[in-house]
Structure 1
């Protein structure tokens, strides 16, 4: 399987059309949508997806491709002020899981963070997403904040999620 990683943009109309089709197909399952973006209600609405997160021009987005077929996504935002990067919306097409693709994407995002001299890489994961948690821990991430414990009555979108971090030193 020959996999490449390509940068895409939510500001490029060609990329937007492709992303809308791919994401709408992936998030036909409400459970998948909830695990990756608990702020969104089913059914998936691409415009809301973009409005919630991707209006921020600082986010860099990438797709994993097998030949010309998109099989995964991953995104990262850099905070130069505090030298922290945050990986988000890492998702692999169900047919391509357990083939090391999430690892490949996360390694790519971590490499970008290191290149920009970030000291910490964080990500948010829902407690029910055990395969993702296992992967992140295997890659050296540790629990930084459990929002269920620290924000028990919050309407914060992270409520119930765990924030993991990896020191990049």
Structure 2
């Protein structure tokens, strides 16, 4: 795919058609247990869309975006806004294997920062969790301002938002 007709679209796990499409895409992406573990360490292999939704997508304060190249979904990111804690939490960032190293993960994060978080004046920071062995992801996050906050089974990373 070299068309570069990229678009970022908001989708909902509460929409049956979106779930149908995402089931096919995510099942393909997470057919490898290591890939599923890097994206969502607490989920068991094999990937199960119903468990994915019931575990992560039952709250109303979660938004999910997909990156499309023409009609192909090539990326996914979700954000949970916790206005009580002045925090946005990024999770389930994934780029299709064939489209990695093209800046698409950074594009999705920047989109969320600009279009979602920037419009919420009380959000002071963005955090995320990352598997320690996922060096490419850690490198990406650090390159756009995330710092390691805690280190346990995974890394908790944070980026403070400067709203001037």
CA deviation vs aligned residue, 1:84-110 (integer Å, no higher than 9, x gap): 100100000000000110000010111
Name the CA distance, whole Å, in 2 between partners of 1:123 and 1:65: 23
- Answering whether residue 107 of structure 2 is matched by residue 133 of structure 1, we say no
5+ unaligned residues in a row in structure 1: which ranges? 149-159
Shift of 1:3: 1.1
Runs of 4+ with deviation above 2 angstroms: none
- Answering whether residue 16 of structure 2 is matched by residue 13 of structure 1, we say yes
Partner-residue secondary structure (3-state), 1:105: helix
Partner in structure 2 of residue 106 of structure 1: 109
Name the CA distance, whole Å, in 1 between partners of 2:31 and 2:148: 30
Which of 25, 39, 61 aligns to 2:42? It is 39
CA deviation vs aligned residue, 1:38-82 (integer Å, no higher than 9, x gap): 111111111111111011121100000000110000010111112
5+ unaligned residues in a row in structure 2: which ranges? none
Q: CA RMSD in A?
A: 0.8
TM-score relative to the length of structure 2:
0.93
Shift of 1:116: 1.1
Partner-residue secondary structure (3-state), 1:145: strand
TM-score relative to the length of structure 1:
0.91
Name the CA distance, whole Å, in 2 between partners of 1:165 and 1:38: 19
Partner-residue secondary structure (3-state), 1:42: coil
Name the CA distance, whole Å, in 2 between partners of 1:42 and 1:12: 24
Name the CA distance, whole Å, in 2 between partners of 1:142 and 1:91: 20
Which of 159, 165, 168 aligns to 2:161? It is 168
